[in-house]
Every structure is written in structure tokens, then in C-alpha cells.
Amino acid sequence: MVIAVAFDDSPEGRWAAVYAARAAMQRREQLLVLRIVDDVSSTEPESVRTAVRAALDAGGVGESPWELRTAEHSGDPVGALIELIADSGAALFVAGTRRRNAVGKFLLDRTLQRILLEVEVPVLVVKEPLDDD
């Protein structure tokens, strides 16, 4: 089985990658990191690989094996991500989100809402844990 995660270099994206890596290691499954880009011919994939490695190292799962899959969008990055998830063969998709106040909890981010409604596999939404300071 494949566990897929959408990665962007934000606190939510980094935490989602760490959580997905932990889940993949625990279940002994493949981790597939997905990234939508403006142009697949750009050098961005190497910078994404570097950011993913840094996030996984910081999360204590740097030894987790993973594969990066990118796709170009043509004006609809969310649609491209949904298509990439479908083409990936993933059995689970992990998405990161920010912590929200009461109104924010009621009104989901449009991107996340669309993913929840259109992705055909189970979606696990994770948020970064609170600091214990």
C-alpha cells in the first residue's frame, strides 16, 4: 500500500510529511511525496527533495524511504493534485492544515474542502502538535 502526502515548505506541509513518514514506517508501506509545480522542466524538484529531507530529519524520521512525484498544473493546482493522488495508487492521503479558531473550524480552507470531497481514497488531515512550553 502507498501513503501519499502533499508537500509544501510550510509548517503544515512539513508536519504532514513527518506524520506520513511515521505512518509509512509503522505500517511498512511506501511513502509517496506529491508536489504540484508550475513547470516540470524547472529545477524545483531538487529544492523540494532538499526541503523534504530537512523536514523528515527535523521530525526524527530522516531514515524513512520516500519517492517524490511531481506534476504540472495548467491553472488548477488543486485539480492537478487530486489527479496525481488518483494516479499514484495511494490507499491513504495525508494533508496538513493549520490550527483554527472557532470560525475557522467551521469554514475549512477551500483547497482542503475540495480535496476531502473529490479524492477517492481516505484522507487523513493532521495539524502540527501544540508546543509544550
> Is 43 among the domain residues?
yes
> Is 99 among the domain residues?
yes
The pLDDT, as a whole number, for residue 98 is 78
* Integer Cα distance of 53 and 63 in angstroms: 9
Q: Report the 10 Å Cβ neighbour count for 8.
A: 15
Please tell me the total count of domains within the chain: 1
Give the mean model confidence (pLDDT) for residues 29-33.
96
Residue 38 pLDDT exceeds 50: yes
* Integer Cα distance of 22 and 133 in angstroms: 24
State pTM to two decimals: 0.85
* Integer Cα distance of 36 and 7 in angstroms: 9
Decide which of 133 and 131 is more confident. Answer: 131
80: domain CATH number is: 3.40.50.620
| Cα-Cα-Cα-Cα dihedral sign, residues 15, 19, 22, 28 | negative
Residue 67 pLDDT exceeds 90: yes
Binning pLDDT at 50, 70 and 90, where does residue 1 land? confident
Q: Tell me the pLDDT tens digit for each residue of 5-24.
A: 999 888 999 999 999 999 99
> Is 7 among the domain residues?
no
> Is 133 among the domain residues?
no
